[in-house]
Structure formats: C-alpha cells, structure tokens
Amino acid sequence: MITFESLHITGLDEAELGRWIEASWVRARGTRGAWQFDEVDVARIRLIHTLRHEMEIGEPAMPVVLSLLDQLYDLRRNAARLNKALATLPPEARAAILERLET
C-alpha cells in the first residue's frame, strides 16, 4: 500500500486529494491523514492530477471525463479478453468470425 506522503506528486496537497476522495474519483483506504492507496489508485491520482493541472480540465467537467475514460478502459479490457478468446479458436472459426465482423 502507498501512503499520501510517498506519492511525491508536485503540486498535489492533501486537501485537494481529499476532495477527489470525497467526490469518489479516487478510492482510499484508511482515514484522512492515514490514507493508503494501491497501484491502480495511484495511477488514477496521477491521471486526475494531469487532467486538472496540465490539461486544465475544470472540476465540474471531471465526473464526465472520468466516466468516459473508465468506459474506454473497460472497452480496452473487453477487447483484449475477446482477442484472447479468439486466439483459442480453430483458424477456420476465427476467420469466420473476423469475416462476419467486417460486414
């Protein structure tokens, strides 16, 4: 688990992170001052920080942006699972499915 102190994200203070947690943009274990995060949560914190501070996306737009990104990541995971499943099929079945997808 990773603590707030070990994040080392320039310009991110505990109050701002607290707002993100309260808005359910980030999951944290523990209580304020003793939050702990796993790797996925840290990646999301870094993403939100980039969106807010480098891309200057306003706080009101963040729920929509994060929802769209979550949907995109889900689609990518599902596509990867589908590709993995297709790879297990016999070549004829795989070719038939791919041909069907092109129409």
pLDDT tens track for 54-79: 999 999 999 999 999 999 999 999 99
Residues in the chain: 103
What pLDDT does 32 receive?
Answer: 87
Helices and strands (H, E) in the chain, number of each type: 4, 2
What pLDDT does 5 receive?
Answer: 85
For the chain, which residues score pLDDT lower than 50? none
pTM: 0.81
What pLDDT does 21 receive?
Answer: 96
What pLDDT does 1 receive?
Answer: 87
| Share above pLDDT 90 across residues of the chain, in percent, rounded to a whole number | 86
What pLDDT does 58 receive?
Answer: 96
27-61 burial: b if 16+ Cβ within 10 Å, else e: ebeeeeeebebeeebbebbeebbebbeeeebeeee
